[in-house]
Amino acid sequence: MKNTITLILCCFLSTTLLKAQDSCSKFYPMVEGAAYEYTNYNKKNKVEGVTNYKVASVTQNGGDTQATMAMTYQDKKGKELFNSDYHITCSNNTVRVDYKSLFPSQMMKQYEDMGMEMDITGTDIELPNNLTVGQDLADANIAVALSMSGMKMNFNVDMTDRTVEKRESVTTAAGTFDCYLITETNTSQTMGAEQQMNSKLWLAEGVGIIKQETYKKNGNLVSRMELSKFSG
């Protein structure tokens, strides 16, 4: 259970920015059927798994744009570890995520059957339409609290020190893209144990996340994620 939640929180760190509409952000062309594939690598450049996203539906509700994203994660052998449909709302240049829907419904039901209560809270990641080098971006976080028969477990991830460092060209299997490089600090607390990582995120207009790298505090690479396929 702990490993599953940790994996989902890691997916949150690398995918929450995949949740903007054209009317709110010029970085993500969110239309029904748009699909993204990301390949995940470990520190030794070995494939660890593949994450796929697809815009399942898009609806308008007044001035809000609401979308459902379908996500699946497969390990390096192609075995699906989990899938989830989660909901987002884009309004007034701000994207709001339904954090409860981020977790697979099957896993939620299993916890309920075990008599376990889950509370999910968080602060949305915000991405302005106009990025500039040197710009500081707002912090974000997600927190999960579990309780059962008096036993409590807490999982938390904070994203801080988010800064637009520079612009540069990045090439992956999906092509070559002109990107903004955003750096940030990710601090996770799992069952009382705290761990701090530094992240680099390359972001391209009209596509979204192109590449992400995560490092330990000492600068050693931990993992890398790259856009391997995209259809918008």
User: Residue 108 has what pLDDT?
Assistant: 63
Q: Which helix (H) or strand (E) holds 103?
A: none
Per-block average pLDDT, block size 10, for the chain (232 residues)?
48 47 57 89 94 87 79 90 77 61 61 74 76 90 81 85 96 96 90 87 88 93 93 79
User: Residue 214 has what pLDDT?
Assistant: 92
Residue with tokens 């939620």: 108
Beta strands in the chain (DSSP E): 35-42, 47-61, 64-75, 80-91, 94-97, 117-123, 136-137, 140-148, 151-172, 175-190, 193-204, 208-216, 221-231
pTM, two decimals, is: 0.78
User: Residue 1 has what pLDDT?
Assistant: 46
Distance CA 216, CA 183 (A): 13
User: Residue 176 has what pLDDT?
Assistant: 96
User: Residue 103 has what pLDDT?
Assistant: 60
